[in-house]
């Protein structure tokens, strides 16, 4: 399931991120890739331990925690601290699958995080670069994603995906992974559909008995399926 999460960052937060990243200490992006992925990866990346990466990552995490659509779609248990990349001058990332486990080195010796979901938060506007679309392949076909700055796409980490070459301009984005409370993708999708329906019904029938029952069904399913 792909989920477009709009307006993760406010205009002020987005402007702040873009300004900080202009003169950031970009380095070779292959440092975070596995052996096979490194062969297909050609981009720049902000070092994880840089001041900019840490501070902007915290800003993004705060924004995610406030965003109901992100929470409903991801049901996050752990979020890997956001990383930042830049594609320009023909840079691309060929077809690959993300590593199943990432280690958050900021948590002691490194806390393992199972990558159930991958996320790309676009920080450049679509008309600021040519190429650079995120191509995601899943059971429903091939999807081309190029979102406005400040918007995010969530997709299963098990999906084959790639970033097309950026032939003009620069494509800057944040990317990270989520270990969900709900490991099974089909169950996450059902819970999201139920949550969206409950929110819609609540607007018109907040105290209706059926809305309360559906809310109970949602939480009982979450209780039965979640991994804590």
Question: Binding residue per annotation — 98?
Answer: yes
User: Is residue 124 within 8 Å of 170, Cβ to Cβ?
Assistant: yes
Pairwise CA distance, residues 137 & 141, whole Å: 6
Q: CB-based contacts of 33: which residues, under 8 Å, 6+ apart? A: 41
Phi, psi angle pair for 206, to nearest 5°: -55, -40
Please name which of 73, 37, 4 lies closest in space to residue 160, comparing C-alpha atoms: 37
Question: What does the chain come to in residues?
Answer: 228
Query: Is 219 labeled as ligand-binding?
Result: no
β-bridge partners, 83: 175
**184 known ligand binder:** no
Q: Is 35 within any annotated ligand binding site?
A: no
Whose tokens are 């819970």? That residue is 191
Which residues participate in the annotated binding site? 96, 98, 161, 171
Binding-site residues from annotation for 2-oxoglutarate: 171
For the annotated binding site for Fe cation, the residues are 96, 98, 161
């Amino acid at each position: 399931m792909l989920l477009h999460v709009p307006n993760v960052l406010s205009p002020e937060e987005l402007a702040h991120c873009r300004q900080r990243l202009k003169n950031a200490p970009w380095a070779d992006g292959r440092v975070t890739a596995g052996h096979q992925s490194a062969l297909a990866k050609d981009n720049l990346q902000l070092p994880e331990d840089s001041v900019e990466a840490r501070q902007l990552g915290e800003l993004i995490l705060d924004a995610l925690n406030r965003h109901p659509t992100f929470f409903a779609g991801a049901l996050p248990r752990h979020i890997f601290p956001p990383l930042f990349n830049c594609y320009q001058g023909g840079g691309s990332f060929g077809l690959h699958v993300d590593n199943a486990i990432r280690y958050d080195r900021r948590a002691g010796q490194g806390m393992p995080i199972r990558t159930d979901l991958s996320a790309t938060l676009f920080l450049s506007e679509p008309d600021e670069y040519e190429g650079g679309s995120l191509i995601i392949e899943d059971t429903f076909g091939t999807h081309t994603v190029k979102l406005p700055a400040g918007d995010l796409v969530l997709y299963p980490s098990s999906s084959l995906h790639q970033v097309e070459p950026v032939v003009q301009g620069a494509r800057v984005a944040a990317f990270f992974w989520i270990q969900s409370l709900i490991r099974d993708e089909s169950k996450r999708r059902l819970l999201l559909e139920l949550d969206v329906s409950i929110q819609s019904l609540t607007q018109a029938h907040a105290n209706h008995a059926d809305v309360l029952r559906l809310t109970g069904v949602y939480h009982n399913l979450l209780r039965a399926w979640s991994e804590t």
